[in-house]
Copies of this chain bind each other. A is one copy, B any other.
Amino acid sequence: MRDVAIIGVGQTPVGEHWESSLRMLAANAIHAALADAGVESADALYVGNAYGTSFSSQSHLGALVADYAGLAGIEALALDAADASGGAALRAGYLAVASGAVETAIVVGVEKSTDTVGSDHVRARNVSLDADFEAIHGATLTAMAALLMRRYMVEHGVELNAFEGFSVNAHGNGSKNPNAMFRNVMKAGSFARSPMIAEPVGLFDSAPDADGAAAVVLTSAERASDLVPQPVRITGSAVATDRFALQERPDMLFLAAANRSAYAAYAQAGISPSDADLFELHDGFTILAALTLEACGFAERGQGCRLALDGQIGLQGALPISTFGGLKSRGNPAGATGVYQAVEAVLQLRGLAGANQVAGARTALIQSLGGLGSTAVTHVLQA
């Protein structure tokens, strides 16, 4: 298996792009990544997208995006793993280059969420739940996150305000990211006063749906060194799944797929959790941030929130997370989110993260979750 490296990154701002369609967002990110890599084209394109069919009545995004981006002819396929679709596309690109079948691959994640609003938006979003046993009963991802969060609070004796640290960190970091959707620093007391979306999930526990696209260019590590001054190696790549529905899991408060994919990626990279200089995790809900830190070896069970309260997740902390604002503040363009994580980690490892820089970052983890951890995709990136 060949070693694989990222040689270029590109992103659009995250937010409400009324002027741009799905394909336009994707093409903009692709062109930015190709320019960053200093290459004209690539041999293959892997598109991560979760809701193109339900938001925009558009599937078949491999060929569609390749054509619109001026790349018609090349291999192009689309990957879906709900909100982990960006991570899934990165995995596909990694495997294609690692195999030797593909020399240079573009991975783009794209989502156009804001053309569909209200109950139509909820229905469109709900296609990634279990249609026959969850969505049909009116469940939503947020409603199920609320059940999970409540259970966590009861089991571990944790109060609502314990989760505040995740939001404060995300918004503090996002405020310095020009591509972030919400650039407001949280005011003291905002978290406690925030309206409930699905109790106990409040406004600041839940990440906003958004439009956006992010792209990376991959090639073999050997070739990468000749092409760019600062290639970033992908030293670990793994996907795992869990029982699809929360109620089927033997231990609802343990994210088994996050755990399994993280430790597989650590093993491949030859690292342990303490080697990570930063972690772009899937903070779609604050409860997922807490559970992820526990599943991936950074906190004991029930102690995930303590890392945030103790200031360890900040840019100067022991394990900076959501360094550009995470899903919460940068925004969550679902199928693009996993690729945004890769772009942000690359900027950190190149030392080009500006006001969001983690000093001396050499090893970054990124993890993308689909559903409430039904799918987890973990990559280890190293300078």
Contact = CB atoms under 8 A, between A and B. Distances in A.
A370 B243 contact: no
A169 interface: no
Interface in A50-79: 50-51, 53-54, 56-64, 66-68, 71-79
Contacts of A243: 67, 72
B240 A375 contact: no
Contacts of A80: 59-62, 77-80
Nearest to A61: B80
A128 B61 CA distance: 8
Interface string A291-309: 0000000000000000000
A81 B21 CA distance: 20
A63 B77 contact: no
A1 B50 contact: no
A70 to B, nearest CB: 11
A95 interface: yes
A244 B72 contact: yes
A131 interface: yes
A61 to B, nearest CB: 7
Contacts of A44: 239
Interface residues of A, number: 67
A327 B99 CA distance: 32
B74 A91 contact: no
Contact of A375 (B63, B68, B135): B63
Contacts of A128: 59-60
A366 interface: no
A310 interface: no
A122 to B, nearest CB: 12
A287 interface: no
A62 B75 contact: no
A142 to B, nearest CB: 16
Interface in A231-245: 237-245
Nearest to A130: B64
Interface string A75-89: 111111110000010
A108 to B, nearest CB: 14
B241 A100 contact: no
B135 A57 contact: yes
A77 B88 contact: yes
B64 A59 contact: no
Contacts of A77: 79-81, 88, 91-92, 239, 375
Given A128-B59, A130-B64, A75 B238 contact: yes
Contacts of A59: 50-51, 53-54, 80, 82, 127-128
17 contacts: A53-B59, A53-B127, A54-B57, A58-B130, A59-B80, A59-B127, A60-B82, A60-B370, A63-B241, A63-B244, A63-B257, A64-B374, A71-B241, A73-B260, A75-B239, A77-B79, A77-B239
Given A54-B59, A68-B244, 8 more contacts: A50-B60, A53-B59, A58-B132, A61-B80, A64-B374, A72-B244, A74-B241, A78-B81
